[in-house]
Structure 1
Amino acid sequence: MARRSLLTGDERRRLFEPPVTDREVARCYTFSAEDLEWIEARHGASNQLGVAVQMALFRHPGFGWRLGETVPAVVLRFLADQVHVAPSALDGYARRPQTRLTHVRQLHERLALRPFNRTDLRHAVEIASAAARSTDKGGPIVEALIAELRRQRIILPPAETLERVGLAGRAQARRKAADDLLASITLSQFERIDQLLINDPALRKSPLAWLREIPESPSAASMAGITERLAYVRAIAIDPAIISSIHEHRFEQYAREGAVAPAFLLSGYSVGRRRATVVAQLIFLESRLSDAAVDMFDKMVGSLFAKGRRSRERKYQASSREVSQIMRLFSGVIGAVDQARVD
């Protein structure tokens, strides 16, 4: 089975690899005067450039210089220019592995860093879960995790570990959001919620699908359909105040998903996620149906006014024809009188 992925390829490059643009390289890897003094205290050009690379990569991305990792040419040139050695000096660095390990320990002390270990996993998942409280997107979750580990001066674990921690944190955040949203729902309400996804022979569809089909044409039948649906939703008695129990973005996600996912798909969700999605949809539907009832009333009143206006126009047109006939008759009478006077 393929490993679940949290990040896109572009996100992995941005978060896990050194930058390659001049501006970003300068932003991430410009040494202070104290840094340069410490680096230049190393013996020989190779050691100076090697320890400069180690220091730079401990700071960003935060893994340090991993075995087998090739330093981008633009980064190497920038670091070499700062310590006034040739980039080729790196070829002779740490031919003795002990030298490289010694520099790593020295940098840990200088930068106040410590390695990530197994006891940090739970804390890391909690960090990722907090970041996932408002989003399911992997980039922001892992970015927040990296930022917090850096703040705590912890050397980043392998990229694969960060991604797995992000996935675990997101799953934890999803479960907690569902639990928080459903905390005040009663057993009888859960029964009504679960029934919304079961096909109703009388409706020839699930009640949830029926609730989503809001009539739009202005008529008494449409108004009756809207009020019937609104009464159905209100009978389940979900308190809209529970929205405040979770992050607004998480609630909006539940509502969006509930608005489009068919009943058979929702039925395949975990119990908590399914119920949370339906509850969010019910809260959304109550608001939408209330608005639809008001809009329908406006449409019906407008339709009545339009009918009245057309009726008046027809009456006016009819009376205009009668007046015209009277005027023609009157004109004929006047003409006859005038002719009689002449005669």
Structure 2
Amino acid sequence: MAKRKLLKIQDRKALFDIPTDEDSLMRHYSLSPADRLEIEVRRREHNRLGFAVQLCLMRYPGRALMANEILPEAMLNYIAEQIGADPASFDLYARREETRMNHVARLLRYLEMRAATTEDRRAALLAAIEAATVTDKGATIATAIITTFRERRVLLPAANMIERMGLAARAIARRQAEAALITDLDPETLGTLDGLLAVDPAIGQTRYHWLRSAPEAPGAGNLVGLTERIAFLRMLGIDPRLQTRVPSGRWDQMIREGDATPAWLASDFNASRRRATIVAQIIKLGQKLTDDAVMMFIKLMGRLFSQVNNRKKQRHMSARLETSKALRLFLDTIVALQAANDMDADPMTILDRRVGWHRLLQVKPGLEAMVENS
């Protein structure tokens, strides 16, 4: 099994590597007059350079020189130039462990720093746990540890130690969030949650998968499917206010992990993580499916209204056409009667010839319907 890591390669470099760009060298490794006086007390060149390097490293990133450590050339040259030393002389200093340890002890007093104690490590761990309650990002958690040590003017432990502390803090934050969600649930409810991961013969799949595969396309049948799922969720009796017990950042992380976890994988989680994941999904789904059902209902009502409105428009257009025909026939009738009057002819004969009595009889039912509807 691969060893679990807190930091990505680029994160480790950003947090622990010695900077080499000019701006960072000037900001972190420029020696003050007091520094130079302290350095000049050392008589030999390699000791002066080694002492200066130790001083700079203990200031930033905040650690002592490691055994057989190879320093970046840019950093070594920058420090050596300030004290007039040959960078090559550092090789001799690097081989003298006793001298290095003596210099560390002296620099701790000079810089008013100290080695980390149990209390310091505890404070750093608490800071990491606090950071882990809002994010799973290793760089943020490790930064909280480093910042705490620096604020307490304590030498940083090894990078691997900081990473192990961060992993422990993240695990603790996760367990705290899990406990907040499931501590008050009775055994029967916990058993019901576990049962969601078993295949239900009635639907041929796990209820966990069924709940998360709700239909999305607007339709009467799909709306029924949503309401069935909402009713099932309410039957489980999980209080959605449990979400307020978990910090928002940690909650979002639990939701992301749950969204990516199929039922078969959730079954392999330990009991606490498994049940907390299911509870978080139930709360999220209760909110999401309710919103989806409301939106689907609105869309269906809009579609129905549109259909009714279209039918109404169609009827209106048909009525207008019939009205237009009736008015045209009425106009033709008036014209025929006027012609009969002008010619002093029989009106019925002219009317039948020009309009057609049978046409007038055909439109009579339609005219009666128009009068009644108006």
- TM-score w.r.t. length of structure 1: 0.90
Superposed, 1:213-292 pairs within 5 Å as: 213-292=213-292
Tell me how far 1:58 sits from its aligned partner.
1.4
Confirm or deny that 1:189 pairs with 2:203.
no
Confirm or deny that 1:62 pairs with 2:84.
no
Could you say which residue in structure 2 is the equivalent of 1:4? Answer: 4
Could you say which residue in structure 2 is the equivalent of 1:17? Answer: 17
Per-residue CA deviations over 1:95-125 (Å, capped at 9, x if unaligned) read 7554333212111222233334788766654
Distance 2:98 2:259 in 1: 61
Distance 2:283 2:168 in 1: 29
Identical positions, percent: 39
Distance 2:91 2:256 in 1: 56
Q: Which amino acid aligns with 2:9?
A: G
Q: Which amino acid aligns with 1:87?
A: P
Distance 2:266 2:276 in 1: 10
Aligned residues: 343
Tell me how far 1:341 sits from its aligned partner.
4.8
Superposed, 1:197-212 pairs within 5 Å as: 197-212=197-212
Tell me how far 1:303 sits from its aligned partner.
2.3
Distance 2:238 2:32 in 1: 59
Tell me how far 1:70 sits from its aligned partner.
1.4
Per-residue CA deviations over 1:238-264 (Å, capped at 9, x if unaligned) read 222222222111111112222332111
Distance 1:5 1:97 in 2: 31
Could you say which residue in structure 1 is the equivalent of 2:170? Answer: 170
Structure 1 stretch 308-317 or stretch 92-101: which is displaced more?
92-101
Q: Which amino acid aligns with 1:64?
A: A
Structure 1's 232 and 131: CA in aligned 2 closer, same or farther, altered over 3 A? same
* Paired residue secondary structure (1:19): coil
Could you say which residue in structure 2 is the equivalent of 1:133? Answer: 133
Could you say which residue in structure 2 is the equivalent of 1:81? Answer: 81
Structure 1 stretch 139-148 or stretch 79-88: which is displaced more?
79-88
Distance 1:221 1:95 in 2: 79
Distance 1:28 1:197 in 2: 55
8 Å CA contact retained: 1:115, 1:155: yes
Larger Rg: 2
Could you say which residue in structure 1 is the equivalent of 2:159? Answer: 159
Tell me how far 1:302 sits from its aligned partner.
1.4
* Paired residue secondary structure (2:200): coil
Structure 1's 92 and 302: CA in aligned 2 closer, same or farther, altered over 3 A? same
8 Å CA contact retained: 2:134, 2:250: yes
Tell me how far 1:270 sits from its aligned partner.
1.2
8 Å CA contact retained: 1:132, 1:173: yes
Could you say which residue in structure 2 is the equivalent of 1:324? Answer: 324
- TM-score w.r.t. length of structure 2: 0.83
Could you say which residue in structure 1 is the equivalent of 2:372? Answer: none
Runs of at least 5 residues in structure 1 that lack an aligned partner in the other structure:
none
Tell me how far 1:92 sits from its aligned partner.
4.8
Structure 1 stretch 310-319 or stretch 331-340: which is displaced more?
331-340
8 Å CA contact retained: 2:68, 2:94: no
Per-residue CA deviations over 1:3-30 (Å, capped at 9, x if unaligned) read 2222211112112210121112222222
Distance 1:97 1:228 in 2: 73
